[in-house]
């Protein structure tokens, strides 16, 4: 018996880990058909439940001890109510026909799994299964299955001992797997947080210079379409810090970052802070005219609306903007960045608070 239960646990554990990796860690493994996700998870859970039954321990000729009901809870965490219903149906039907001669026990225990799947999925619609509340769903599935065992096994001390074994085995299997999954989830959460910190600016939350180079490189490598680089610099920012203090200067940088994000949605392009008071906007699929148009929209928006610092003090600033475009002004990151910077310098030379494109520089 111990050997069969150990195999059962290993299958359950392997299924949980292999299910978590491709479907939960979406940063590294992209699901090309996200709408199929619950159906795929449910089918995988059903097949895993079938394998568990094939390698189960027989309490009697028709009553099996395994962890197939635990599968439904794990499925609920990863795939939601649809996955639970699919898994419950596959496991339940398999349970009915798993023996050579179908008995009333097979029918009853098979229907039990189907009912558990329906009940869990119904509750899951209002209370989605998470790592925190999964134990309550486990208590329900184990209690209902144990009551069914208790009703049909012989009422002897040996039979009740086997029932205790079933409950203990279910609890050890479930809580061990749940603990590992929680730790794995926390591990990936920390990795994603660390990666986010490595590519974002600590003050504004925008992408930093490192991410700017990655994005620009990907545009150059993967795209045959033109794109624009818009370099933005706050005019006389040192004076703002001197007059109002560095804390107000930091607040101004944060608010400017928010305004730029609102002006440039993630679908349109990316905003980065490359250091100090310098910001850059990368605008894909945009020829020079589109880059100039957005640059002017940014300039006028900043000049029109004063910034509010702490203590309700208003600070009016302007920005100078320089634009370069790929492939007209360069085929490398440095060439495009230098072209945008030269256009930015021309904006400053023209009195600041204006927009220049590298193509339109004065000879």
* Active site residue ranges: 277
Quickly list DSSP for 146-180: HHHHHHHS-SSHHHHHHHHHHHHHHHHHHHHHHHH
Contact 69, 117 (CB under 8 A): no
As a whole number of angstroms, the distance between CA 169 and CA 6 comes to 9
**Number of residues written out for the chain:** 363
Torsion of CA 184, 188, 190, 192, to 10 degrees: -170
Torsion of CA 38, 40, 65, 118, to 10 degrees: 40
Beta bridge mates, 126: none
As a whole number of angstroms, the distance between CA 349 and CA 137 comes to 68
Q: What share of the chain is helix, strand, coil (3-state, %, to 5)?
A: 65, 10, 25
Give whole-number Cα distances, 109 to 10, 174, 239, 246, 258, in Å.
23, 20, 78, 70, 58
As a whole number of angstroms, the distance between CA 263 and CA 344 comes to 20
Angle between helices 104-126 and 68-96 (to 10 degrees): 130
Report which of 343, 220, 335 is spatially closest to residue 292, judged by C-alpha positions.
343
Report which of 78, 9, 71, 70 is spatially closest to residue 40, judged by C-alpha positions.
78
As a whole number of angstroms, the distance between CA 94 and CA 88 comes to 10
As a whole number of angstroms, the distance between CA 360 and CA 321 comes to 13
């Amino acid at each position: 018996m111990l050997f069969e239960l150990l195999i059962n646990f290993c299958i359950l554990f392997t299924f949980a880990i292999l299910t978590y990796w491709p479907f939960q860690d979406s940063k590294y493994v992209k699901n090309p058909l996200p709408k199929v996700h619950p159906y795929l998870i449910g089918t995988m859970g059903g097949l895993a439940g079938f394998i568990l039954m094939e390698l189960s321990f027989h309490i009697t000729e028709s009553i099996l001890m395994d962890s197939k009901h635990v599968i439904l809870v794990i499925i609920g965490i990863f795939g939601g109510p649809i996955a639970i219903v699919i898994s419950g149906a596959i496991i339940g039907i398999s349970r009915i026909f798993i023996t050579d001669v179908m008995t009333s026990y097979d029918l009853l225990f098979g229907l039990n799994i189907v009912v558990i799947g329906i009940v869990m999925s119904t509750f899951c619609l209002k209370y989605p299964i998470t790592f925190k509340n999964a134990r309550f769903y486990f208590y329900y599935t184990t209690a209902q299955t144990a009551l069914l065992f208790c009703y049909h096994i012989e009422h002897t001390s040996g039979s009740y001992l086997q029932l205790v074994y079933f409950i203990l085995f279910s609890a050890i299997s479930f809580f061990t797997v749940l603990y590992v999954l929680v730790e794995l989830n926390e591990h990936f959460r920390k990795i994603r947080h660390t990666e986010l910190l490595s590519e974002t600016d600590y003050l504004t939350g925008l992408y930093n210079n490192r991410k700017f180079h990655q994005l620009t490189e990907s545009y150059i490598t993967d795209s045959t379409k033109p794109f624009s680089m818009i370099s933005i610099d706050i005019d006389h920012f040192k004076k703002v810090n001197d007059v109002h203090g560095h804390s107000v200067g930091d607040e101004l940088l944060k608010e400017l970052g928010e305004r730029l994000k609102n002006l440039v949605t993630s679908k349109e392009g990316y905003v980065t802070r490359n250091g100090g008071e310098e910001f850059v906007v990368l605008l894909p699929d945009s020829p020079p005219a589109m880059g100039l148009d957005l640059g002017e929209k940014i300039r006028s928006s900043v000049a029109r609306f004063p910034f509010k610092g702490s203590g309700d003090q208003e600070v009016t600033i302007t920005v100078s903007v320089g634009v370069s475009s790929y492939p007209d002004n360069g085929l490398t990151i440095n060439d495009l960045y230098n072209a945008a910077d030269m256009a930015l310098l021309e904006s400053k030379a023209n009195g600041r608070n204006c927009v220049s494109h590298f193509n339109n520089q004065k000879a």
